[in-house]
Amino acid sequence: MANPTITTKKNIPRAGAERVDAHDKVRGVTRYAADDARPGLLHAALVPSRIARGSITRIDTSAAQRVRGVRTVLTHENVGSFDTGGFLMGGGFGFQSFYPLRSAQIAYRGQSVAVVVADTLEAAREAAALVVVAYEATPFVATLDAPDAEPLAQTAVLPQPMFADRRVGDPEGALAGAAVTVDLRYTLPAQHQNPMEIIATVAEWEDGVLTVREPTQNAEGVRHGLARQLGIEPAKVQVLSPTLGGGFGQKNSLQSHTALVAIAARALQRPVKLVMTRAQLFHNASFRPASRHHVRLGADRDGRLVAAVHEIDQQTSRHDLFPSFGTEITSRLYGIGNYQGRERLVRTDVQTPGYMRAPFEHPAAFAFESAIDEMAYALGRDPVAFRLANDATADPLTGKPFSSRHVAECLIKGSETFGWARRTMAPGSMRAPDGSLVGWGVAIGTYKAAVAPAIATVRLNTSGTVRVAVGGHEMGQGMRTAIAVTVARALGAPVAAVEVALGDTRAAPQHLTAGSWGTATALPPVLEAAQRLMEDLRKNAGSTASESGVTALALLRASGRPFAEAESRRRAPGQPEQVFGRLTGGLPAAAGPVYPDFVGFSFIAHFVEVRIEPTTRRIRVPRVVSVADCGAVASPRTARSQVEGGVVWGIGAALREVSEVDPRYGGFLNADLAEYVMPVAADIGRIEVDFVGKPDLRLNALGVKGLGEVAMVGVAPAIVNAVFHATGKRLRRLPLMLEDLLDS
Ligand code: MOS
């Protein structure tokens, strides 16, 4: 798709269409689930477990019950039986298979042990603090590195092909014969998504139909999961998630508290709202698991990579095996003919970790792209030239072509914009006028170009209103804008006339929106439906059809019909028709990166400048240049914003964010925004974003690939490589701490 016409009055170059939801958002008109204040609304509060593992021996809710305004206190003793919603990666719907209150079991610190419902939030929270729980505690494992934590080979515990080790050629033999080798270990901590909008649920029953308003990336999964948990027909459940204040994977599946809110609402015959606290979000929703990486590379003297072995240990929970996929990308970053990827899972007593933006790709790229930089230095090669010299021409694993691959252009374009040619190779060789050490670093990233099935309808009324319904969730990434712009252009309608229903199970089947497949999934059927509608009107109009510039609305009005409507159903290349059954059943149905005739990946290159204050060693990032290959750019304004956000996330991951664990107690210590340190505006310098912009027409008719996650892949290693260039010090543990640099 070419750039949409600029419709703003201020003609910002290459800005693209304004966000269709921008004005409502900045004026506070947008209503989120937590804003709900419908008549009769009751308020819920969760009571967290104070132990990390064991069981409840006694629970006393009498003091809580006596608080004025309390309507009920649900515990495992009185909640009644309800089913599990299952685990997303095990055929179910939840971020984990464990659903609190189904038994007396405690699986992790912070797990809910009771739900209080009251007339006011204040009463609910006061009463929640008065619930008295006695526990029997059992030994637990809090961290990846605990003595009792035992790695399990993923390929053995999850014996399906999609979880298998990746291997091509003879990596060990090639390593043994390589002229130059590096052998390096990296560690990354657990981290938590902290979207501005915390998780909130409003449940209401009317005539036996349950309506749930909850920010989710997976309304259909929540719907079917709840139906299973409550033992009712999916037709009796509707889930509305029109706008999220950030998802980042934390909201990608059924939460373990949602059914409890619905059960309370049913029992009390009143709508019930639960808004988690920030601290509860750290313990009741998913997070990025801690991981360890062992990378070995071999190269010949000419600077050709001949072998790579990437071994990953990733944290999971006691009750679920959250799989690791990091080697999916490190096997494709370069054209290395001998590659071994191996993933292991380590059980710990936490809620099940999950998908946090570039969940595997960011950690894997941190390790691999740091090692690549070390190899470039070991060979005395410029890090950009070394990467270009090892680019892949086909997928090393499958031998299939890439649907498109322009990572070399990302590197070339980025180095020109950044001024890489002025870099001097030696560590510590560049200084700022104020005496700061200057470091310039580079890294690349890739992320699968996945696609899910979708059904879209476009309806035009004689009033001029266009209604679009499709599967997809607007998390702030700009999907609604991209859809509105696409439909408006196809129909010759103003963007403002297009209403886009997203995240609404009443409007269209809602596939999980994650894995950066949202735009490539929703836009093709939306465009096709709009084109069909236009064709239909043209055919109907006969001779007027040849007029160029004629709008759909003019044709509709001339036709005398009250409305025109068209539908389109699209699925990923190679997917069977039955995949629509998974879509309507609320199950994950995305395909990729391996398709019948090609593999699909998005790419990016990041160039980072760091400045390090020579005595305090304070690290600043004044400048980043990022160039992405995401195929055609569907919505330039929101695409650029996605990359800027990804870079900020990378800066956070490299220099700030860590979820601290006290191994004596489990849980997460710094469970608030004061102590979970994220970059703020003052930490962010200039971020220049550019795109290759070449459509990937093998993947879909618009040529779009994903962008939201590849944006952050490679930022952290580019920063760490820049810190090495500034100081000569290789740091292999994130986030970087000032004390790591103080002794140098
Ligand atoms: Mo994203 S981490 O796949 O929601």
Nearest CA to ligand 1 atom 4: 249
Question: Could you give the strand order of the β-sheet that contains 70-75, starting from the edge strand earlier in sequence?
Answer: 70-75, 112-118, 42-48, 272-275, 200-206, 209-213, 237-240
Q: Evaluate: CB of 706 within 6 angstroms of ligand 1.
A: no
Which residues form the catalytic set?
709
What is the secondary structure of 289-353 as a DSSP string?
PPEEEEEEEEE-TTS-EEEEEEEEEEEEESS------THHHHTTSS--SSEEEEEEEEEESSSPP
Phi, psi of 333 (to 5 degrees): -65, -35
Q: All domains of the chain, ordered by start, with CATH?
A: 394-449+592-744 (3.30.365.10), 454-584 (3.30.365.10)
What is the secondary structure of 469-480 as a DSSP string?
E-S---SSSSHH
**Token output for 220:** 């259909």
Ligand 1: atom nearest CA of 356 is 2
Give yes or no for residue 5 having a pLDDT over 70: no
Cβ neighbours for 429, distance < 8 A, ≥ 6 positions apart: none
Residue 378, number of CB atoms within 10 A of its CB: 13
Whole-model pTM: value is 0.96
Distance 166 CA to ligand 1 centre (A): 22
Give yes or no for residue 694 having a pLDDT over 70: yes
Q: Evaluate: CB of 252 within 6 angstroms of ligand 1.
A: yes
Among 251, 328, 355, say which to mutate for ligand 1: greatest number of ligand atoms within 8 Å of CB: 355
Q: Evaluate: CB of 314 within 6 angstroms of ligand 1.
A: no
* Residue-wise burial string across 14-37, b where 16 or more C-beta atoms lie within 10 A, e elsewhere: eebbbbbbeeeeeeeeeebbbebe
Distance 357 CA to ligand 1 centre (A): 5
Q: Evaluate: CB of 216 within 6 angstroms of ligand 1.
A: no
| Average pLDDT of span 303-307 | 98
Give yes or no for residue 574 having a pLDDT over 90: yes
Residue 116, number of CB atoms within 10 A of its CB: 30
| Contact between 165 and 323 (Cβ < 8 Å) | no
Residue 585, number of CB atoms within 10 A of its CB: 15
Among 252, 328, 713, say which to mutate for ligand 1: greatest number of ligand atoms within 8 Å of CB: 252
| Average pLDDT of span 63-77 | 98
| Contact between 436 and 685 (Cβ < 8 Å) | no
pLDDT, tens digit, for every residue of 287-303? 999 999 999 999 999 99
Q: Evaluate: CB of 715 within 6 angstroms of ligand 1.
A: no
Distance 249 CA to ligand 1 centre (A): 4
Ligand 1: atom nearest CA of 513 is 4
Distance 694 CA to ligand 1 centre (A): 24
Ligand 1: atom nearest CA of 358 is 2
Give yes or no for residue 37 having a pLDDT over 90: yes
Ligand 1: atom nearest CA of 355 is 2
Q: Evaluate: CB of 353 within 6 angstroms of ligand 1.
A: no
User: In percent, how much of the chain has pLDDT > 70?
Assistant: 97
Q: Evaluate: CB of 418 within 6 angstroms of ligand 1.
A: no
| Contact between 108 and 352 (Cβ < 8 Å) | no
Dmax of the chain from CA atoms? 81
Distance 313 CA to ligand 1 centre (A): 20
Q: Evaluate: CB of 357 within 6 angstroms of ligand 1.
A: yes
pLDDT, tens digit, for every residue of 640-691? 999 999 999 999 999 999 999 999 999 999 999 999 999 999 999 999 999 9
pLDDT, tens digit, for every residue of 696-740? 999 999 999 999 999 999 999 999 999 999 999 999 999 999 999
Q: Evaluate: CB of 253 within 6 angstroms of ligand 1.
A: no
DSSP code of residue 549: T
